[in-house]
Amino acid sequence: MQKHEMKNLPTSVPTEIRCNCCGKVIPLQNGIAMQDFFHAEKTWGYFSQKDGITHSFDLCETCYDRIVSAFAIAPSENE
């Protein structure tokens, strides 16, 4: 979950980023996250029950690791 403030159009600077799962605040410095986090955004399409609705959320690394550890197939990795 991100709160943004419009500083100089057309860009915005995040003023708060919180993990949607545990509520932890991701520390920011001048709008830049000082801890990495996972961001997801999905606009659901016609063949769903949420046609045209966009969902977005953020996860801290701890919650991301816990959630993906329950996957039947682990996320692919590339370096």
Q: Which residues bind Zn ion (CB under 5 A)?
A: 19, 21-22, 24, 60, 63
Residue nearer to Zn ion on the CB measure, 12 or 21: 21
And the tokens for 17?
Answer: 């980023």
Residue nearer to Zn ion on the CB measure, 13 or 22: 22
Q: Which residues contact 41 (CB under 8 A, 6 or more apart)?
A: 54, 55, 56
Least spacing, CB of residue 20 vs Zn ion, in Å:
8
Buried b (16+ CB within 10 A) or exposed e, 50-61: eeeeeeeebbbe
Least spacing, CB of residue 37 vs Zn ion, in Å:
8
Residue nearer to Zn ion on the CB measure, 12 or 20: 20
